[in-house]
Amino acid sequence: LFRFLGGYAGIESTVTAKESGTVQNSVTESVYMKNPKAKYKIKKKTGIKTSAEPAPLSIVSIGFVVDVVIRSYDSLIGTKVGTNIQIDEGGKLISEDVTCLLKTFMSNYVKTLATAEEDNCRLSSLVSAVFGSKLIDTHKIRTVALLYRSVADALESDERVTATAALEPATISATIRSIQAAFASGGAPKLLQVGLMRDVSLALKHTLPWQKPDVSLILQVLAMYPPEDASFLSEGSSRFETTESKNSESSARSALCAWVRKLGDGKWSTNAAPALATAFVSGQLLPFVETELSLGVDKAEREMAMSICTLCSLEGNPSELLWPAIHKGLQSIPSVSCTKTPAIYRATRSVTLLEFGCLEGALSGIGNGELVYDENNRTLMPPPQSIEAMLSNAV
């Protein structure tokens, strides 16, 4: 593994970028074509001169990278061997970390695939393999985090990588289930979870938009990005962890906003956000049939309400998108009622939507009295009597 990543396998380190219909050659500094230093002077031979030409980086197959390189690295994690290797150069021991070499290799490999083909078939295959469910199901979480960050940063940071990969909805659906299982197992700390979801959002940002968006899947994805809440951070969290977590969450929100706004014909989120809010309050999105025994809000409903509020927040003008649905569910309810009526169900869901709208900081008093969210104190200002009476009746 070290010989391949360390540059002793004859792999070219140049990346050819195609921009605006022209071909521009630019060299990315890497270590893929190292020539070991000779310890003794060698007399040059006269006659026919031959030179060893390195193979282009694009010749490396995706199957080799996924099944050989990544698996070899994953086998070193958590073992006594480790990822550090000691090399004797000139009588001095030099330590090389395979982790850094793999990160550099994956970054340059993504850039090479993004500029090597016009249809980006190989780039799509690589992104699907890295962000697929098989990788997170069969590899250690540290390996997954390294690959996620390497590929996501390569797609995001380099201006030459303007290509977009195809990531199928079925792949994302399976990946979300695998990520949820990995998080539930307790194998990933909170900071690592935030970083993984940040990388997933960047990958979604650089994928081709789905022409027929799957509403259920989009809400599942958005449910993985809860509103920022200080209670998620433990008392022992350092300032560095807090800052890094906030930066990752901010980067993820920006990437999700770019992804959501290009779905469908580019106007899907504008039409879907208010429609989903209204449909949720009226009970059309419930995963179960309402009965007298199902009064209350279960986890699935709360996640759906949170996802809808996130969607409205990403679209812009969330207050205007959420308030009509909230008003619809809270109006015309009796002050005291012990009967489990459809109006009570609608009021319960409206209050849930109101709760997550407040957590998102998405609600304001525009066109709805003076219900204003104070950003500094993270509290709601006292509502006017009309809205306070409506909320009291709903409770």
Q: What is the pLDDT of residues 299-344, one digit of tens each?
A: 788 889 999 999 999 988 888 888 888 888 877 665 555 556 677 7
Closest CA to 127 of 146, 142, 108, 113: 113
Most confident of 19-33, 117-131, 150-164: 117-131
| Least confident span in 15-24, 164-173, 176-185 | 15-24
DSSP string, 121-170: HHHHHHHHHHTSHHHHHHS-HHHHHHHHHHHHHHHHH-TT----B---HH
At 144, the pLDDT band (50, 70, 90 cuts) reads: very high
Indicate whether 49 pLDDT > 90: no
Indicate whether 11 pLDDT > 60: yes
Q: Please state, in angstroms and rounded to a whole number, the distance separating the CA atoms of residues 10 and 197.
A: 35
Residue 393's H or E segment, with its range, is: helix 385-394
Q: Please state, in angstroms and rounded to a whole number, the distance separating the CA atoms of residues 391 and 333.
A: 10
| Least confident span in 30-39, 71-80, 92-101, 281-290 | 30-39
Contact 281, 353 (CB under 8 A): yes
In this structure, the chain runs to a length of 395
Report pLDDT for 38.
41
Per-chain mean pLDDT for the chain: 77
Pair of tokens at residue 346: 């609608």
Indicate whether 263 pLDDT > 70: yes
Q: What average pLDDT does this structure show over 249-263?
A: 89
Indicate whether 395 pLDDT > 70: no
Other CB atoms within 10 Å distance of the CB of residue 317: 15
Indicate whether 252 pLDDT > 60: yes
The model carries a pTM of 0.77
